[in-house]
Amino acid sequence: MSRKSGNAMDLTVIIPTYNSKRYVANLKRDLAPFLVTQNVEIIIVDDASTDGTGEVLTSVFGEADNVTLKLKDTNKGQSDSRYLGLQEARGDYVYFMDSDDRLEPEFRSVILPKIKNQQADIVFFDYKAQMRRVSIGKTSGEISREAALNTVLELNGKRSSAGYLWNKLFKRSLIEKMTFKDTLFEDLDFCVRAVLKADHFLYVNAVGYHYVFHLKSSFNGAFLKHCDRLVSDRIEVQEAVMAQLLTHQDRLSFEHLKKALMSYNLNIVGWLLMISLGRIRDKAVIQRVFTFYKAHQPDFRAFRSWGISVLFKWHGVKEKAKLNNDYQA
């Protein structure tokens, strides 16, 4: 179903859906203010849902002039849906929203007006998670590339912007030729590449998004059912991010970023391994984790005190003593 308007657009909102029928009512309520505007277009890409999501979307949004519905015949994943939406986008800025979360009123009243007459390639803003506001800073204004990287990579000592797409606006000219990595944590990979390409960054001290925790979301569903993929994909994205930082022309105090990022990733992967409590069945994944740690041993000395042998024992690695000895060597 193609768009019905040829007007110029300030913003394109891209929303991938998959078996999201139960969230369409909330989505309609959040998007209602934009359905009567001429400067915002909405592109919803359904990834061959099996619960009737496509039919509900057609019923709810089919007559909206500024909504484009793309109903895929084959399930190819969220990354593919986002890419398809990006190819259709005409807005000066692009915003990626998840169908099961909520937009906050300040997204429209405070954040969007900031993109007018702005040179920012990426606009950061705050979000809400588990009823708690997560902020980047205290005052709105321009931020440096290093500050942008620190918040994308969560290197400021607290949970911040991280590698999420949904608390950022991207200038379309910056990202229109970019693709999405077909893994979990693809947001992080995409955000790092975008930050390294961009030159101007703006932070808006306002809450624009509400992340709602769902056990059946794409990420949490994968965690519960496919822990091995979750851990493996985290390492794959981590390695890709490190390669991007290493090859960037500025190097951006690379050694500092490398140590901070490795330390943070240690906590993330370690947490994933611990909380999975034996759900990981692929021993090759555990070996990959160990190999990854060993390759960056100078950055992981504190890991010994955390009990690496116990951690690997939990996941059934028979050679845990040998692995631990190799690590200590």
Residue 310 is predicted with a pLDDT of 52
Q: Tokens standing for 48?
A: 């061959």
Helix axes 227-247, 186-197, angle to 10 degrees: 10
Residue 253 is predicted with a pLDDT of 62
**How far is residue 96 CA from its own chain's centroid?**
9
Tracing tokens 């919803």 back to the chain, one arrives at 44
Residue 225 is predicted with a pLDDT of 61
Residue 270 is predicted with a pLDDT of 64
Residue 266 is predicted with a pLDDT of 63
Residue 3 has pLDDT above 60, yes or no: no
Residue 144 has pLDDT above 80, yes or no: yes
pLDDT digits (tens, 9 = 90+) for 214-265: 655 555 555 556 677 777 787 788 888 888 887 776 655 666 666 666 666 6
Residue 9 is predicted with a pLDDT of 79
Confidence of residue 51 (pLDDT cuts 50, 70, 90): very high
pTM to 2 decimal places: 0.83
Residue 323 is predicted with a pLDDT of 46
Report the alpha-carbon angle 266-197-258, nearest 5: 25
- Residues 6+ positions from 289 with CB-CB distance below 8 Å: 231, 235, 269, 273
Residue 156 has pLDDT above 90, yes or no: no
Residue 109 has pLDDT above 50, yes or no: yes
- DSSP codes of every residue in 176-196: TT----SSTTHHHHHHHHHHH
Residue 81 has pLDDT above 90, yes or no: yes
Confidence of residue 129 (pLDDT cuts 50, 70, 90): confident
Confidence of residue 102 (pLDDT cuts 50, 70, 90): very high
- Mean of the per-residue pLDDT values for the chain? 80
Confidence of residue 21 (pLDDT cuts 50, 70, 90): very high
Residue 219 is predicted with a pLDDT of 52
* Beta strand spans in 27-167 (E): 40-46, 67-71, 93-96, 102-103, 122-129, 132-134, 141-143
Confidence of residue 294 (pLDDT cuts 50, 70, 90): low
Q: Please tell me the distance from the alpha carbon of residue 232 to that of residue 75, in angstroms, as a whole number.
A: 22
Residue 304 is predicted with a pLDDT of 46
Residue 84 is predicted with a pLDDT of 97
Residue 264 is predicted with a pLDDT of 62
Residue 205 has pLDDT above 80, yes or no: yes
DSSP state of 116: T
| CB distance 264 to 155 below 8 Å | yes
Point out the least confidently predicted range of 95-109, 275-289, 307-321: 307-321
Share of the chain above pLDDT 70, in %: 68
Q: What is the mean pLDDT of residues 189-206?
A: 95
Residue 172 has pLDDT above 80, yes or no: yes
Residue 247 is predicted with a pLDDT of 77
